Each structure stands twice: as C-alpha cells, then as structure tokens.
Amino acid sequence: MLDAKDTSNITHWQERVDMAAAFRWTARLNMHEAVANHFSLAVNDDATQFLMNPNQRHFARIKASDLLLLNANDPATMDRPDAPDPTAWGLHGSIHRLCPHARCVMHVHSIHATVLASLADSTLPPIDQNCATFFNRVVIDDHYGGLAFEEEGERCAAMLSDPKNKVMVMGNHGVLVIGDTVAETFNRLYYFERAAETYIRALQTGQPLRILPDDVAEKTARELEDYPQQAELHLAELKAILDEEGSPYAT
C-alpha cells in the first residue's frame, strides 16, 4: 500500500482544495474535454505566481496536492521536469503576466459555449435571466490563430485588458472565464454554459427570440453581480457533496 502524500509543507492549501473541487465538478458536468483544458489561480499580489493543473491529468482525478505552482515571469518553466502543458502555459501564463485583475482563469471547450463560439455571430443575446448575467460583459475573439502557444496567449490576454469583460468567447475554440476567486469564476463558468445552452436550444426551435430590453438586461446583470454569497455557497455545496461521497479531491 502506498503511503499518503505528505501535504504539511504544501502552500496555499485552501486555494488548492477549492481548485480541485472545481476541476472535479467540471468533469462531472461534462464541461471538460479529455485532458485538454486548464484552470489557474493567482496566489500573490501581482498575480504572477499561480496554481494550475498538471499536464495531461484528467479533471476527475485532480487532487489539491497535484496542482503546480508556477511563476508567469519564469522563462525556464517549460524546462521543469513537471512542466505544464505548453498551450496552458502560453494562455494562462500570458494572462497572469499581462492581466493582474484576472486572478482566476478557467478555460474549457464545453459543448454549448463552443457551439456559440462556432457561430458567425457569437453574441449571446439576453433572452433569459442567465443570458442577461453576461450582458455587455463578454468579449468575442474573432481571430483564432491556432493552438494557444505563447504568442497566441499574449494576443488573447490583450483582449482581457478591460476588467469589465469577465468572459471571452474564443471563436472557433471554446470559452475562457476570469474572476477574483475560484468560487466566483466557477460560478460564472457554470452559468455561462447554461446560458449558452438556453440560447442554442432557442435557436433550434426556429421561432423568434424574446430579447430583453438593454436597460432590463443591464439591471439584471448588476443585480446578479451584487447577489450575496451565491458563488461561495455554490462551491461550498459542491465540496460538501464531494466530502459526503468520500472523494479524495482535498488531499
């Protein structure tokens, strides 16, 4: 029998636990894609040191102790024996280096957000409360340039310079969501996928859409931004379920 991993000297433990729960629940919701997607979380003041999932590890197996601690300003990162996925480094490293307001970054190829990213017009109109959450808070990347190695990552990071934009619909690619904490960012990712699903299903009916007026959509978005503790309680409940199931995510 293998000895349990000693976690006594591992830093940023609570942040790691929150990240591991988010990875596991993303897999449970089928919002991941094999071993190809990545989450990261800044752990210092200027956001250049960050936690990220290890290379080619399935979200459903990630534990708190597995996460890599990286430095966005370290040019030798890809020479490490435990080097991250090169596209993860290119995208997340660039964002943490260039956009310090993006404390947490979650990138997935979830089904409905990727369908939205595949449309000629990837705008998400405010047709329901979830869609209204993102009114005027999404940037659309119309210039996909291939895998997100460092040059492509820097191009994407430049599009997130306005802190109001919390979601990037990555045309022909997927979605990227930013926030201040794991709870806030995961909650936003979850609701964006739900909103995209509602919109795609509405389009499939072929019927005219009932679109909210701009002032109502903006009012709704602000009210949801100020809604007390929703994101924190959402993640807390997910961790409670994982704990009840005996998941080793927090090890």
Averaged confidence pLDDT in the chain: 94
Q: Which of 127, 122, 132 is nearest to 191 (CA)?
A: 132
Residue 3 has pLDDT above 50, yes or no: no
pLDDT in tens, 146-189: 776 778 889 999 999 999 999 999 999 999 999 999 999 999 99
Question: What are 140's strand-pairing partners?
Answer: 169
User: How far is it, in rounded angstroms, from Cα 7 to Cα 151?
Assistant: 36
Task: Answer whether 126's CB lies under 8 Å from 135's CB.
Answer: yes
Residue 213 has pLDDT above 90, yes or no: yes
Q: What is the mean pLDDT of residues 76-85?
A: 95
Provide the pLDDT confidence category of residue 144 given band limits of 50, 70 and 90.
confident
Residue 2 has pLDDT above 60, yes or no: no
User: How far is it, in rounded angstroms, from Cα 116 to Cα 105?
Assistant: 20
Mapping DSSP to helix (H, G, I), strand (E, B) and coil, where does residue 107 land?
Answer: strand
Radius of gyration of the chain (CA): 18
CA 146 to chain centre: 20
User: How far is it, in rounded angstroms, from Cα 27 to Cα 14?
Assistant: 20
Q: Would you give the DSSP letter of residue 129?
A: H
What structural domains does the chain harbor?
A: 13-244 (3.40.225.10)
Q: Which pLDDT value is given to residue 114?
A: 98
- The strands making up 174-179's β-sheet, listed across from edge to edge, are 68-71, 49-52, 38-42, 104-108, 174-179, 167-170, 138-141
Q: Which of 51, 57, 21 is nearest to 36 (CA)?
A: 57
Task: Answer whether 213's CB lies under 8 Å from 148's CB.
Answer: no
Residue 1 has pLDDT above 80, yes or no: no
- Burial label for 78, CB within 10 Å (0-12, 13-18, 19+), is middle
Quote the pTM value: 0.94
